[in-house]
Amino acid sequence: MIRLFALILILLTSHVSLAESDASTKTKRVLVFVGYTDEENLNETLAHPFSKKHSFSLAYRVELGIKRSLIDMGMNFQSDSLFLKKDNSLEVTIFNVNVLCPGESLREKNLRSNLCYHQIQRSEQAVKYLERNLNKFDEFIYIGHARKGAGLALGPFVPEYTYPLKFYNSVDQGRLKKIVLASCSSQSFYSPLAQRFDFVGTSDRLLLFKDLLPLVQGELRKLIQAP
């Protein structure tokens, strides 16, 4: 009798844990990244990454535009970086890699001959966050420079702050199914992604952040309006 009771208890416990696991997978998780907003020359190489003008105000306006769209479309504000659909079917996390360095103006472009500690810390945090968490999301949306296919702009155009979108196996991919890159010429630079993911990019060579923002907002609208 005791053994029978223990067996029933084990079955019930396993059923509960499975139910909890199923419930967690019902929420679609989306990660939105706002890339480093420095001035980019299409002929730029890794050899000259610094002494570029950077605009924190541009990154802030892009982030604010995304957040306003989420709220206007009925998403609930959970924290400064997290939004949740009312029925818990969709969760959107926003990560802006840009910070304002001491002495910089919020309203103007600032020439950065080097990086302040705050930006270094934020860029390194962004790299670690993607390394540890990207494959835990269902969809990834990025708005920023394409860095000529070298990777995502998480800081100046140097290897340590350029995140390569490379997935070698199913473990690297995890639950990630769709990637949206709102970047200049991302369709050609990152075309191999289409072999593994539902991939959305752009074909234009010269696009401003204000031109790319509607693409991000449109993709979020599709997610929110999906049944």
* CATH assignment of the domain containing 105: 3.40.50
Of 37-41, 82-86, 187-191, give the lowest mean pLDDT range.
37-41
**Residue 6 domain-assigned (yes or no):** no
Q: How confident is the model at residue 19 (pLDDT cuts 50, 70, 90)?
A: very low
Q: Is residue 12 a contact partner of residue 19, using CB atoms and an 8 Å limit?
A: no
Q: Is residue 144 a contact partner of residue 59, using CB atoms and an 8 Å limit?
A: no
Which residues share a beta bridge with 76?
84
* Kind plus residue range of the DSSP H or E element containing 84: strand 82-84
**Residue 21 domain-assigned (yes or no):** no
**Residue 72 domain-assigned (yes or no):** yes
Q: In the predicted model, what is the mean pLDDT of the chain?
A: 85
**Residue 146 domain-assigned (yes or no):** yes
Q: Is the pLDDT higher at 108 or at 88? A: 88
Q: How confident is the model at residue 168 (pLDDT cuts 50, 70, 90)?
A: confident
Q: What is the pLDDT of residue 3?
A: 42
User: How many angstroms separate the CA atoms of 223 and 227, rounded?
Assistant: 9
- For Cα atoms 206, 186, 83, give the angle at the middle one, nearest 5 degrees: 100
Domain count, the chain: 1
Q: List the structure tokens of 75.
A: 């998403």
User: How many angstroms separate the CA atoms of 166 and 168, rounded?
Assistant: 6
Instruction: Count CA atoms within 13 Å of residue 144 on its CB side.
Output: 31
Q: What is the pLDDT of residue 1?
A: 45
The string of pLDDT tens digits covering residues 45-84 is 555 555 678 999 999 999 999 999 999 999 999 999 999 9
Which of 170, 102, 156, 101 lies closest to 126, judged by CA? 156
Residues 6+ apart with CB under 8 A from 130: 33, 152, 154, 163
pLDDT of 92 over the 60 cut? yes
Q: Where are the alpha helices (DSSP H) in the chain?
A: 2-25, 56-72, 117-133, 170-173, 186-189, 209-225
In which domain, by residue range, is 142 found?
Answer: 28-225
Residues 6+ apart with CB under 8 A from 80: none
**Residue 16 domain-assigned (yes or no):** no
**Residue 147 domain-assigned (yes or no):** yes
Which of 164, 167, 166, 194 lies closest to 179, judged by CA? 194
Tell me how long the chain is.
Answer: 227
**Residue 5 domain-assigned (yes or no):** no
**Residue 9 domain-assigned (yes or no):** no
